[in-house]
Chains A and B, each alone.
Chain A
């Protein structure tokens, strides 16, 4: 079980309110990702759930039981920290066994559980090493192992992959998703990387300055962002925004078109512009097109190879069904 409810919780550090009143319901077995720019309060929110910080007001319920005043160890949650927070003077075996030892489990049971976890995480050969003798990915797995053996109601991850290199990050992303499939335990995962959020989450919570901008499945957020912030944050490359007369034509203050919903041609189209940089990825080409009356270059994603040169004049045409309209408050218009 791992059903968590946040009811009107707030958090202030001194006079600064980092989390304004916030409600959130996390279902049992869900993979929830908190995503948002750096400093928006993701870690703080996670630490409130963990109990490492006390809420300034509001109520936290875990599996229907009030948990606001319950100390961290008693909440039945396990956390994986960004720095891994392994105990440097203990072997991998002792690190993983630590929560069991603290719980007073006998030696034989400890050994059994540690070895089972090590097997799942491919750590069997490293059990007698110290954390200092492991690679980043292995340390990450030890940290996860230490969380798994507790059989928690929910796992909390705070940017667990941000210290890994790109290739390893993709691997670990898959491993964590795989782990979620096997264990079916609730996972709350914090990241500033929207790709991680899109690929791993059942449910994404987009945060900005402590406020929840939108909650939904990855595709919901992609197709129907509730406001400009979410529209710009979710999706890669970022959505293009047009204002002024471009938007007025569609009866909106701002319109947004994703790079993959623009077609580009040399012969004619809706908007004209000049090609700037083009990035050739093989499978796709990203064109950056400068348009008069738009501040930032417009990003266009075309599949395959496209043979435009720097300075060519091109015409862009948006897919009419895929235009997002926003009013002057930045909210989505029906």
Chain B
């Protein structure tokens, strides 16, 4: 009885949250699906009041047959993959480093987390204007100091620069999660391995890395979700030029620049499909670490 009562009470109290969440997700999703089957060009006078023409899969066909589609998918995957690689590798390294006792540990830890609190737009602008500017940027000065020709980062090495900026933002997140995992490693295991004759490298490979696998999985899954939709960094740096047009950015251009809401919505549906493919793929290779 008591459990029945508390269960229905719990359901009742969860309802607002569930309804809100569902609404939050379902309304945009359904609208996107709806628009993707319609011809909706506001500048040509289409509007919801007058009713939209049903065009079937025309938007889908047009979006995918556009010459920018596959390059944008490729760009998205390169950026996501590059950032994941950099943040996980450097994150493990930093986590191990921060776990060592040293003077000023507390302050350093806060400094390491700091980039995470900077808004994406701001950090991208800082990188663009203060670091990567080919005339006034610090990197340009550095290059000139060593007698080299400054690089116009955002046009000549645009994709790499973008990966660098986004990695800088996400490194704290990876480091933080990995640091807590490193700290939860039983030191007796490391000592046992040391007595068993394992070198520091072997201890890392056989003990530390397997222990971190679950945390690495979580970092990869969460970051992928957010990285698939990065936008501000591209908007304020290259504006999608120089081969940095991701799928998200392409959709943005279709909707805002070309004022074609139907076409953009179809792109949105493709983005959902891509995200799910990536997610299933990731779950396959790393997700088995989670059910232990």
Contact = CB atoms under 8 A, between A and B. Distances in A.
A52 B195 contact: yes
A194 B191 CA distance: 27
B210 A102 contact: no
A99 interface: yes
Contact of A102 (B188, B197, B213): B197
Interface stretch (A83-91, A197-205, A253-261, A287-295): A83-91
Contacts of A146: 192, 196
Chain B CB count within 10 A is highest, among A72, A79, A85, A86, for A85
Contacts of B194: 52, 71-73
A103 interface: yes
Contacts of A98: 193, 196, 198, 206
Chain A CB count within 10 A is highest, among B189, B194, B195, B211, for B195
A153 interface: no
Contact of A85 (B191, B199, B210, B211): B191
A150 interface: yes
Chain B CB count within 10 A is highest, among A71, A73, A103, for A73
A78 B197 CA distance: 10
A14 to B, nearest CB: 12
Question: In which size bucket is the chain A interface?
Answer: 20 to 34
B195 A87 contact: no
Contacts of B206: 87, 90, 98
B156 interface: no
Chain A interface secondary structure, helix, strand, loop or mixed?
loop
A126 interface: no
A49 to B, nearest CB: 11
Contacts of A73: 194-198
Interface string B261-289: 00000000000000000000000000000
A150 B199 CA distance: 16
Contacts of B207: 87
Contacts of A77: 195
A187 interface: no
Given A52-B195, A85-B188, 15 more contacts: A52-B194, A71-B194, A72-B194, A77-B195, A78-B195, A79-B195, A81-B188, A81-B192, A83-B188, A86-B189, A87-B193, A98-B198, A102-B198, A102-B199, A146-B192
Interface of A: 50-52, 71-73, 77-79, 81-83, 85-90, 98-99, 102-103, 146, 150
